[in-house]
Amino acid sequence: MTLLYYDPRFLDHDTGDHPECAERLRQIMAELDHCGLTDRCERPSWQPADSERLATLHDLKHVESMRHLAAGGGGRVDPDTVVSPPSFDIGKLAAGAVCDAVDRVLSDEARKAFCLVRPPGHHALPQRAMGFCLFNNIALGAQVALERGVGRVLIVDWDVHHGNGTQDCFYDDPRVGFFSVHRWPFYPGTGDADETGTNDGLGATRNLPLPFGTSRGEYLKAVTAELEDFATRIKPELVLVSAGFDSHRADPVGSLGLEVEDFQMLSGLVTSLADAHAQGRVVSVLEGGYNPPVLAKCVATHLEHLLGRT
């Protein structure tokens, strides 16, 4: 069984004329419905993450600053990151979805889950929002797993941008393996290959920075070799995916030249590694992807693999 987390309230996070907009999720849901994929998923209900949950990872000062900004009518945290009046509550709803998905998968209610949420999260640092992201959804999910006694978590981030916030959250923690493949050099300026962790977490971070112009074949070959090796070292009990689709060649923000079928291969690689090491347990979370029609096709391909398409 695969869980699908979606709530129309995610559309209420109003970013105006911004690449990270509600139309992304509207077109994804239309595509999933058209392909019959939503009918094949379980659709759980869940509670938003409360401030106590957010504060297990984020500074309470940051949580309160997001609440005050939204309550005061919204504004920009930085030139890229918009907060509207509903955004604080929607951010808590997104984080709550990922935390609930992790909890259910670890309770054996399902083997896989996909969280179709916004705002995205992998750039959010413990102390501040950035890069379209308010709270770090996937890192909060990993924190839930650690609290439940999971000894080793693998986070795979294939968004075109480096997941700097997620890396920062667990850079010295040997229990969380963080693997990121991303365009380099590019926003946010982190993710060089020599960033491998610190203190007890040394070696638990692996970055695969690839230059613009890398061929699809070279991309897939490099990811396969590096990720298989890293997963064998980590031996995860749970696999989390920051599923950004802005590496597609038609994405207006990122692009690494990929096609829809390349995300089919990436999805298959992650599910096979989860089968080998983590009893098939995968929780995937939407991150980037800013060409809504193309994004919808990529997400449908990804969800098909979570549902068991071979």
Q: What is the rounded CA–CA span in Å between residue 240 and residue 243?
A: 9
User: Partners of 208 in the beta sheet?
Assistant: 181
Report yes or no: 170 and 176 within 8 Å, Cβ to Cβ.
yes
123 assigned to active site: yes
Catalytic one among 123, 161, 248, 302?
123
Q: How many residues does the chain have?
A: 310
Report yes or no: 5 and 94 within 8 Å, Cβ to Cβ.
no
Q: Give the number of other CB atoms < 10 A from CB of residue 259.
A: 15
Instruction: Give the DSSP per-residue string, 9-43.
Output: GGGG---SSSSS-THHHHHHHHHHHHTT-GGGSB-
Report the DSSP pairing between strands 176-183 and 153-157. Answer: parallel
Tokens 């659709």 -> residue: 43
Report yes or no: 118 and 72 within 8 Å, Cβ to Cβ.
no
Report yes or no: 297 and 31 within 8 Å, Cβ to Cβ.
yes
The residues that are catalytic are 123
